Structures are given as structure tokens and as C-alpha cells.
Chains A and B, each alone.
Chain A
């Protein structure tokens, strides 16, 4: 005879009735999240067309891969596996419970034949074991936590919840064991059958079974009701956040329409974020979703080198303000701290590490925008660079070079309308620093040798990107506007960049301001020239370690091209932190112009590169080149770092 649901239990249906208030409390909790999140403003669009499956505002692939399958959790394999065991185990057990309910209400035949043996018996026991192993691991990790979980804020509510889940699963098994001990074996229920063999002959077994059954049922309902109010809410919020996150890497700052401000004067709306109410709903969803796991803290170059910034702490503070309803409290920026807000290099390593799709740099940069554009606050050296950018359209304070010095003695063509194919964008970073000028010179030699039709602007200036990174969206818009106008007048349709920050600005932000031209980073163009044999290289066989610039690799997914270039020059060597998990050089977010506290980020990264034992270090960003050259001085006097363009130029065969 098959299993009888609610065997030995009087009024068992009461538990089903009690699930109604439990679900109501659950729904009210979700409503609370919705109420808090919807206080946010509309978010700014991505600025690029996305080739992604989308239903309404939901990106399906991200929802499935990051949200439901939790792809990011597995970056820590043990924790990832424990989460998977617990989540999928509990999911299967929940399905089993629903099936029992359907059996009771509608007589659905789940307790007979192969389905009973393999799913209701074996499958659910296996799910219970998996969930138990998972939750025991997670409980042990909470009791003996790694530092990242306890720094700044501990999510202590996890301990009783995980203990309750252990109790829930264990009681479920004992109930099954007692039932089998009293009624006879269940096909497939290997745990239940084994426990029954231990429980045969226990006095008061029917009574214990009854008590445990009610305890189990009420505990399960309490957990469901409590879920949205507890840290377990991430179970729901993480998929929602993943599905609503625009699936492009980087902070996704968009642009601000300042034309709407003209004529408003002092009445204009607040710029950036000075209080919680200024954030977009996505930022508020991020703050609600963050579960203080500290993975972002572990990869943040600022946090790891003794700066006051910890993305975990920033998100924790935002979460507290949101939870406490401090939407209009303007103490927010002061409680996070201006130094903290300015130490972010915008590298986005935190975003890459976050298992629940939080966009930390977006929140930080919005607060920075407020500090600069509303409160005129900026660290001193960065302020000087900013002033230079404002007055001279380049941020290189105290440079010993004029805008055209980099091309002295070199015949460089000027871009001619309808004649030239590519505009070789010079910008500021390869013209005002002696060390980086060689990148531009090398690139000119390469393009000439490959017979590429290219030219430069008569007068070069910055893209405005440093202004954006420092928080001055207004100045960025002004500089970008001038560039866009000039490009349009010249009929520029294809641009080559040597600086990933320029590339990022051209592709992410300029289109929102009306630009439309193709952009190719020099790493990609060099790879194409090598592949098409437009240039021939002598492979030196030297070991070359490649450092991924954040704005080329993590922000724009250009990872393979520079590696192919390096592999044609010598033997590619990788650092432990590479690709999308690369460690920043420290120069992003305007922090090239800063007086660093604590250990210097560039020295940390330079050491990591040196420790590979490679004879050369290559990169594909002028800022990385400058930062790492400086960082390396602590360890060696050898000039080991070169841009890929310099290496290509040196090893080009005539």
C-alpha cells in the first residue's frame, strides 16, 4: 500500500490553512521591499544598443544565469557548492511538499510506482541530504567566519536561520524514520529506512512523531513568513536584481542632460546623490539586495591597500539608511566620507565579484558627482588636475610638454575630410607625459608601415573622461560636445584609441550625446594588422606578462586581442589576477592625480607582475603604463614595462 499523507496526524489540513497567513506575512514583506525601492528615481539608460533577450525590463539570460543559477557564487567553489546544495535541495523538497498537498486535495497519484520510489522516496531524501550538507557548511562558516563576513557589519541573523533550517531538515528525516519504523519501509527512502532501523522499538514513537510533525510544519511556515524580513530575502532579491541589471559591465553611469537645466539657475534639480532619495530605484534595489558577504571588499584595490573605502561598507551604510527610512537625511555623504568616495578607482572589480549583481561604483560615482558638482569638494591634487582640465582641456598639471611636442621630428598626417579613413585619437594621456609619448609615436610608425589611412586632429585635447571620473559630468559634457562637433565637421567615422578610458567614453557616453562613429582600441587593431599580415613581427621568445587595463578588459571585454598580440611578440605569461578578475593599477577614477594613503596600489600590482618572473610587462593603457612604471621603481631600476604598441613597433620587421 502507498504512503498515506498526514498519517498519524489529526487535523493535518490545519497546516495547509496556516500557510495562508504565512503567505500573507511573506507577501507583506515583499511589499515592504517594493515600497522602499520604488522611492528611487528613474535610472539612466545604458547608452548602447544591447543584443539581449528581454521581456519588459527583465534581461532573461542574466536572470537565469546570474540570478537563478547563481553563476557568480561559484567563484568561491566551496561556498558556491554549499549554496547550490542548499538551494536546489530545498527547491526539490518544496516541490515534494506541494505534491503532497495536491495529493491531499486532488488525489494526485504521487505515492505509487516509479515516481514514488525515485522522486518522493529516493529523490527527496537525496535533496534533504544535499540541503543538510549545504546548510551545515554555511552554518559552520558563520560560526567560524572568514574576515570578509565580519568586517564592518556581520549579518548575524544568518546563524539562527541556518540553525532553524538544520532543525527543519533533521526533523523531517526523523519524522520519516518514525513513520517508516511504525508503518513499514518506503521504497527509495534510503535515509528514512536507515533511520527507521535505528528507531524501531522507541517507546512513545507515535506521540513523538506527532509533536515533531507539527514542529516541522510550523517551523517551515515561520521560515517562509520570515524570509522577506531576513537576510534570506536575497533568495528573492538576487534574481530580481540580476534580471533588472543592464547586462553590460562597468558602472553604467549614462550622461546627464544639462540642457534641461539651462535657465533653472539655483532652482535646478540636485546633481548626483546627496541623500538616499536621490538614488535611482536600481541603486535602492542594490542596497536592499546586498547581503554583506564582503566579496567586493576582498577584490577592491582601495580596500586591499589600506584606504578608507570598502564597497561592502558603502553598501552596508546605504542599506542601513534605506532600512531606517532616512531617505532625506543629508548626513549620508558625511557618514561615508569624502575621502572614501574619492578613493574609488572605478575599476569595477567589486561588481565582477558580487554574487548578487550589485553596482557599487555607480552608487559611489553618483555621490562623487554630488560632492563635486553641488558641494565643490575634491581632494587637493585631483582638484588641481580638474582645474587644469577645465582651463586647458587636459589634466596633466605641471607638464613639461606642449600638445604637439610628442610628434616633434615625426611626420604625422593630419585627418582630412573625405580622404582619411581612421582618426588616430591622441587625447591627453599620450601627449603630456614623456613616458607615454612613445606609445603615440610607435602607433604612428606601425600604421604607416601597415599602410593604414589615418590622420590626427590638428589640435588634440582630452575626451573629458577624467572629468567624468572625478564627478564633473558638466565639464565632461562640455568637452565631449566640442569633440563631437569637431568630429562631425570633419566627417570622422572611424576612430583608433590608444587609451581605454577614451575608448570607453567614446563607446558608452558619446553616443548618448549625439555621436555616431566606430571606435577600435589599438589592441584590436594591432591584432588585426598582425593577423592580416599587414605587419610582420619577429617573435623574440621573451617572457611577457600582460596586465589587463580595467577599462579594456573588465569594462569592455577586450581580453583575447591584446593577448594574441603579446603571443606574437614573445611568450605570454599570466598573473594570478587576470582577465575580468584583474587588479587595478590604481590610476582610474581620477586617482592618477592623488596622494595615496596606505600601501600604493601600483606597487602592489607591479610586484604581482614581477613575481611572475617574466622579463617584460606589457599593457595597453597609458595610465596603467605610467602607474606601473612608477610602482615598479620600488623593486627594480629596469624599465620592464611597455605598451603593446611599443613592443610591436620594436619587433616589426621591415
Chain B
């Protein structure tokens, strides 16, 4: 089947899609957008997190056909050219990126948190990131990164979260 959808504001099409394959596979293997990572394919690790029509979901659990005509947003949409998104910048500065495999999903999950809770408590951060596994950092620096990004974004109310 053919699947067409918008990804990060641009229309994309993929042909010869097997209807049972996942949106993650379509993004990575058919649309050339490998930012969303494939680690578990069972919803456990969150490294494939994207927005589907504005809702944070695991792309590995969305059937390709379910994304037809939808609006998808992936980690590739966060930066503006060379300018990193404040969340990405905070991840870099706090050492929240080691191997980096979990990072795209964590960025999206953190983004989803900050757009509804600009000043999250630590408990809220932990809760919001509970569906994202990181095998390298031990999470401490990731919490630091989210706190730092939240502070900066709150200090600059004009800064758009983007996405």
C-alpha cells in the first residue's frame, strides 16, 4: 500500500508498504528519517517516540496504515538548521548523551512534558520519562538536562518550544 503523511511539516510518501509494518520502519527505512531509534519494537524503551497528530506515541506500535494522512513530528524536526533546540543544547551540556541511542526518544518525551508542564517537579520529570530507557547515563544527567532546559525556556518566555 501507499502511505502518505506529513513529517515535520513536509509531505512524504512511501510505496509498497506492507500494512503490518510499523510507522517506525516507514520513517527509518522508507522515508530516510533514521532519527527515531529502533531498540525493542515492543513499546518498552521509548527510543522511537514521535508525535502522531500531536500525541507522543511509540512509533514501533503504530501500524503504517494508521499513519495515513496524519501529521508526524520526529526528532529531526527539533533543531532549526544548525541551531539546536534548547532541550538538545541542555542534553549536550549536561552530559545526558553518551551512546546517544536513547536520546531522540528522551528529547521527544521531555518536549511533551515541557509543553504541558513548563516548570515540572522532579517527580513529574521521572513520571514523564518512565517510558524511556537509557542504558548508559544512569538518568542523573538526563534529569539535569530537563531541569536546565525548563529553566532556560521559562526564563525566555518568548522562546517557542517548537514542534
The answer on A and B forming one complex is no
By a beta-carbon cutoff of 8 Å, the part of chain A in contact with chain B is: none
B residues engaging A (CB < 8 A)?
Answer: none
